[in-house]
Amino acid sequence: MRKMNPIITSLTALLLLGTSSLYPAQSAESDRFITVTGIGTVSVIPDALRLYLTLTNMSDKSAPALANVAKTATSVRSALKSEGIAAKDIKSSTLTVYPEYNYTQDKGSIIIGYRATQSFTVLIRKAGSGGKIVESVVGAGAESLQINGIVPFITKGSNVMQEARAAAVADAKSRASSYAKLLGTSLGNVISLIENSAPSYSFPPLGVARAEDSSTPVIDLGEEIITLSITIRWGLN
């Protein structure tokens, strides 16, 4: 029987010992963790508005109808400018000219004129001035103007999002710490964090009324509720 060289035997033993130190056995403690979902809610008053309006005119010919709408649009732009609305915040969304028909049983469909329309989206960066701007626009557009809607929004959405995230993290950590304490342990390092979904926005019903002692419309903004949820996993000590 061949004998193994004692030097080789010793070296093999050292290598085996070294291998065992490089790959320590996984402790059950490393699998201890807690996962909690936190909710962050922030209430904020919208600071801006989007105003949607349409100008319309009907004439016996298409060219006069379009010209009359263009003239009214110029007046509306001037009114907006006088209220501090910049040209970059006025956007044309549609411009149409089309025949209008009247149907009679004996003659069928006959053209009764041509209607021109131009629609605008106006960004009002100071929500508090919305009522005064609406009043000015209605005065400039007169019977040719139709207001299609007013939508509140937040211009500094990223700041509000940060507040909602901070509130969600604080909520999750508070819950996790409470559970850890009940279990007789404490929180370790964060293992993972997941923002579960895009934040949800809850808009209040938007009302437009007139103040009792003024002809200027009052736009009631209410509050906008932003809710965000996150799920965080902590290791346990």
CATH code reported for the domain at 48-153: 3.30.70.2970
Average pLDDT, integer, range 113-120: 97
pLDDT digits (tens, 9 = 90+) for 126-146: 999 999 999 999 999 999 999
Task: Assess contact for 109 and 101: CB atoms under 8 A.
Answer: yes
Q: What is the dihedral of CA 63, 68, 72, 77, to 10 degrees?
A: 20
All structural domains of the chain with their residue ranges:
29-45+157-236, 48-153
Which residues have C-beta within 8 Å of that of residue 87, sequence separation ≥ 6?
77, 81
More confident residue, 166 or 210: 166
CATH superfamily of 29-45+157-236: Protein of unknown function (DUF541), domain 1 (3.30.110.170)
pLDDT of residue 52: 97
Q: Sign of the C-alpha dihedral, residues 69, 70, 71, 72?
A: positive
Cα(48)–Cα(135) distance, integer angstroms:
17
